[in-house]
Chain A
Amino acid sequence: MSRITGIGLTPFGRLPGLSTLDLMSRAATDALADAGLERCEIDGLITGYSTTHPHLMLSTVFAEHFGLRPAYAHAIQLGGATGFALVMLAHLMVEAGAARRILVVAGENRLSGQSRDAAIQTLAQVGHPTYEVPLGPTIPAYYGLVASRYAHAHGIDDHAELAVLMRANAARTPGAHLSEPITAAMVRESKSIAAPLRLLDCCPVSDGGAAFVIERDDPARRGPGIRGAAQAHTHQHVSAAASLTAFGAGDAAARALAQGGIALADIRYAAIYDSFTITLAILLEEIGLAPRGAAGRLAREGHFSPGGAMPLNTHGGLLSYGHCGVGGAMAHLAETVRQMRGEAGPRQVEAPALALLHGDGGVLSSHVSLVLENGR
């Protein structure tokens, strides 16, 4: 087993004057301090990517900048699934004995480092360069197509309650990008972006950074343990998806749970990727945390609220804490660790014994699930 012994999470939002390396450094500094470690005690470094700092070797660019000389360095690119993929690789490496203490770090000035048009255009390029991008789709359009199919299957074309819940959670979280309260009516009346998705169904583009220290299990060290980690990759482009209602999330989550011999019914906290309300609804349902077609209803009934049966993204998720790229989903893990430690302040729920985390990249095409057990 591996343990998460340190977390670092910057505020998300508009943070002018900070570069990718600045944000990564701030998060890494906080994670090392939290773990009580010095730079020289880190022997592995795993980073993501940054659209504002494209580089062939971001891991070693960061190592030099931050002052690390790791025995292993690696940068991963897996879209929105990257954050949890970094954690999974660190987990596998320390379990295999290839490294002892790995720093996992990501950051990006995705909002301040480029124009909003440039950000939207860069992200749209994940479409097929020949068969999709020339038609002018956007990331919301890819998910709008998925949402249309969901509406066709279930007769439900909005998940405003999920956006309202994420905003309410963010209002209790220092550093959240968006914290002004919203109502379901406001979500339904916000301007259309890619039907049926409206502005408040979409996460914002943010600046931010996040980091973790992941170590081999050691009786002298404290922190939540990673009991399972699994991936599934079913396609890349939405035109090539075998189904727009069934993806690889359920498969990845089931294998991650099976590794730890843990039943879904034993999970007490969920941290699920929420780039759009439809993303969150589909992932919750596919993983089995909500019946098909029922994610919105359960949210409305309080099931996913901090006081409900399955607290969800209590920091506000991508939809309201914000989305800075690779670091976006890492905030879900930082929050899960805080909840397990009992350090979540006014939004503290009963410290969960077991949590399930899930990230997706592309258009619900790349999936990473993690199962966390509360540490000593």
Chain B
Amino acid sequence: MDDPIRIEIMKHLFVSVAEEMGVRLQRAAYSPNIKERCDFSCAVFDAYGQLVAQAAHIPVHLGAMPLSVQACLHKLEFTPGDVAMVNDPYQGGTHLPDITMVSPIYIQHNGQETLVGFVANRAHHADVGGMSAGSMPLSEELYQEGVIIPPIKLVCDGVINQDVWDLFLANVRTPIEREGDLQAQLAANRIGIERMEGFVHRYGFEQVCQDMDALIHYGERMTRQLIAELPDGHYCFDDQLDDDGITFEPVKIMASVTIAGDEVTVDFTGTDQQRQGSINAVYPITLSAVVYVFRCLLGLDIPANSGCMEPIHIVAPEGTIVNARFPAAVAGGNVETSQRIVDVVLGAMVQACPDRIPAASQGTMNNIAIGGWDEGRQQPFAYYETIGGGMGARSTGTGASAIHSHMTNTLNTPVEALEYVYPFRVTRYEVRKQSGGQGTFHGGDGLRREYEFLQTAHVTILSDRRTKGPYGVAGGLSGQPGRNQLQSGGNTQELPSKCRLVVQAGDILTIETPGGGGYGEDVHEKPTIHS
């Protein structure tokens, strides 16, 4: 049994390292995704690449970060002063815009440089090249999505590999911004290393290693105890994505969850094969989604570390859209498929603990990428954002409106901030009234966001829940599906859930996001209250 007092003290210390890294990364970064929208994660790992502590930044990185570190460990021989970089979804990454930096922490111990562990951060860059601005394309193979970076050393012995740096920047649309973000990522790891060195100095090498181990075991114990409290059984559910953006066929995801004692197995057998379009998820995403669900069920304050993942087993058949095989296109797997995986696992868990699971939330991130050549500012531009929607209703009340759910929690970009930088403006941003599903309790309402373009631009929309609304629970009705619409020269055109288009000055794009599902069968007309 580990020392219960030390565990608590060290938990604070390790989490504060990850949080301090996050503060530095966010404040110094250039991408709206990082600085305004907090689409990043920072974490501390032990010498074996096991996650010790992760700051609560964004759930979709939860299970995926340790796999990046392990991929780097597997491929590279680290020496002091190195920083590795990776975004390859098939080697520890998730999708190409998420670039992870991994730095080993070495200290002098018994007269030699000794590895204590690693710090790592992952950040979503606004553009990493590829076929469309914003690098969230409707691609058909990975090569179209941007620069693929296998685990490589960006920094060797404290010196940046300028050739790698230049090669990367030459392949992205907004290199100055990218450079600032990479600098911010390096700065975040530097402060992480500094703090970890401080701990070793303060507590000694052996003690810190022991503490990291103890924290991981603590996370595991906590998770096991909480899983043991869930009712044993076998629960199945399936749901679908609208389509993959290439063919217009729905894509099925199926999960059966088995809770046995203090362990849980989630089996995705029966899920559709990987698709041509970019909605394929690599395994780390599926892992993140499943870990997210159980972390929610287990309470707000369990630590996020490798121990928590120990009692959770996943069966994800290779070649399906929850464990895609190279070189399937994956840009949307991270943002859309991850949401549906959560919906499916939650749908199964409703049968186990109906009071603790809400109806389905919007189930999409409504990814909008806008880019092109800015004629006024005479420079290329690339913008990417996601839009919130309705949350599912609960057994105890209505769902929240106009909010990000599950695998993302990124801030919106202020309308006033946008206009300073990009050649389009937001002309409407409002709650989409009555879009939440009815029930004893209504689902939360979605959003309506309207863009007016001031010049020609390329737009990529990657959204879902445009044909089938988020499901209700316990007899509650589904929320309204979302809707994408373009007004151009007096014509109004309904757009599919995933599309790429060229817009002209004066065109207006309207995105309506889905409402959450309702809860309970007492369905009658009740005004939704938005106070």
The answer to whether A and B come from one shared complex is: no
Enumerate chain B interface residues (CB-CB to A < 8 A). Answer: none
